[in-house]
Amino acid sequence: MITTLLTAMPETTTTIVAATDLVSGSRALYSIGVGVIVLLILIASGARAMAAFFGGRIGETVSWAVVGVVVSVIVGSSYAIYTSAKTTADQTGLTTGQFGQ
């Protein structure tokens, strides 16, 4: 009777969720957010350049277009460098959390 009772009890299992599984969704959201910010920068600088063009200021048109492209490249590449450095640090295990997380 005792052996039957012990075998009939359900076993409890412990599930360990890795930290990377917990934050993988937020990393995708960060990437989407940075992409949206870059697009907004390009749209804003393009609108400003278009307003300058129709205002007859050709030099200002070129300046706004160049500034928009440069700023969007800096923002996008900075996030890519950050992500690459963070991934490298996480894989080595030497400097986890050093880059802001």
Q: Is the pLDDT of residue 48 over 90?
A: yes
Contact (Cβ atoms closer than 8 angstroms) between residue 75 and residue 34: yes
Contact (Cβ atoms closer than 8 angstroms) between residue 39 and residue 66: no
pLDDT range class, residue 66, cuts 50, 70, 90:
very high
Residue spans per domain, the chain:
28-87
Q: Is the pLDDT of residue 37 over 70?
A: yes
80-101 pLDDT, tens per residue? 888 877 766 656 555 545 555 4
* pLDDT attached to residue 89: 60
Tell me the CA distances in angstroms from 7 to 1, 2, 12, 13, 46, one per residue in order.
Answer: 10, 9, 13, 15, 71
pTM above 0.75, yes or no: no
Q: Which three-class secondary structure state does DSSP give residue 18?
A: coil
